[in-house]
Amino acid sequence: MKTCKREFIRKMKGAIRFLSVTLVTAISCGVVYGQDPVLPQANLGSANIFDGFAGEPGFVYQGFAQIFNTRSIYDGEGRKTSSDLKINSIVQINQLIYLSPVEVFKGKLAFMVIIPVVQINSSGSGPHIPRANPSVVGDLTYGTAIQWSDKKLFGKAFHHRAEIDVNIPLGSYSNEYQINPSAHLWGFSGYHAFTMMLTDKISISARNQLNLNSRTIGSMERAGAFYNGNYSVDYAIIPALRVEGVAYYLRQFEQDSFAGDRNYYQNKYQISDTRESVFGIGPGLAYFAPHGLLFEAKVMFETDARNRPAGTRSVLRVTIPITK
């Protein structure tokens, strides 16, 4: 009986923690047999091409439409489980950015806020299908950044940004559901994004981010710290149209803990490793329209997943300057 319960916990671990793969969506699963906590929101493949760029001071709106479809669920050793559980999501990310004229450390001070709208569904043939909260409001994210533009690195044009973000747990959450739009915790992260123009036609961009989490509100559970990164290389077919190769990577480097004990889930539930990871890669296309408009479309296929589902992620990104 204990062996069956441990196996069920291991399978559900990978299954119901998965929505942390969306930009600002996470699952709360504390009611599933003492399951370990999930990672909160992560930017996986939302922003790639020209990520280090910023325009003139003023307001910019960025919208991201992201669809994730589960293919399979993988355990802590990267093996595909027999579970047919599918947890799919559609996320609309609304981001407002303000680049100020104020100079700090020879860069421009900037601020941003993200408000997500989430639709989640779950299906499968098993008797313990986790229930998804039908509410759609995700957690708010606030960030403060310094943007450096028109710099040089190794003689190449170099644009980059450093930012500190706070995840504020204002989204929809209820103990009645195992899957919620809100992570139900405070998250703190810092990242550096850059774009280097190798030539007029070729550029590379990357975003490297570290994330720390508070305990889940009303619980002693805490998801371990993790890294996530976005990467791209692009080529201009014509000046306004670029084809790109994009990728992202997530790696949790701390074990989840309970009351400060990082061995709790190993000792109590025999889950040997609570850390998760995934790698996604695929093609993309970006069109730079007049007046600073940017349209980016891409599809990424996940592999090397551990303790989570792997699937296909499709993203449409729109950038619209509001003021000049």
What pLDDT does residue 36 have?
65
Query: Which residues of the chain fall below pLDDT 70?
Result: 1-36, 324
What pLDDT does residue 76 have?
87
What pLDDT does residue 10 have?
45
Q: DSSP character for 182? A: S
Is the distance from CB of 263 to CB of 291 less than 8 angstroms? Answer: no
Q: DSSP character for 133? A: P
Pick the CATH number of 2-321 from 3.30.1180.20, 1.10.1060.10, 2.60.40.3680, 2.40.160.40: 2.40.160.40
265 torsion bin: left (phi>0), alpha (psi -120 to 50), beta (else): alpha
Global pTM reads 0.89
What pLDDT does residue 324 have?
63
What pLDDT does residue 41 have?
77
Helix (H, G, I), strand (E, B) or coil at 170: coil
What pLDDT does residue 37 have?
78
- For residue 69, give the nearest of 57, 84, 86, 52 by alpha carbon: 86
Q: Which two tokens stand for residue 321?
A: 């300057």
Q: At which residue do the structure tokens 């450096």 appear?
A: 148
The residue extents of the domains of the chain are 2-321
What pLDDT does residue 23 have?
35
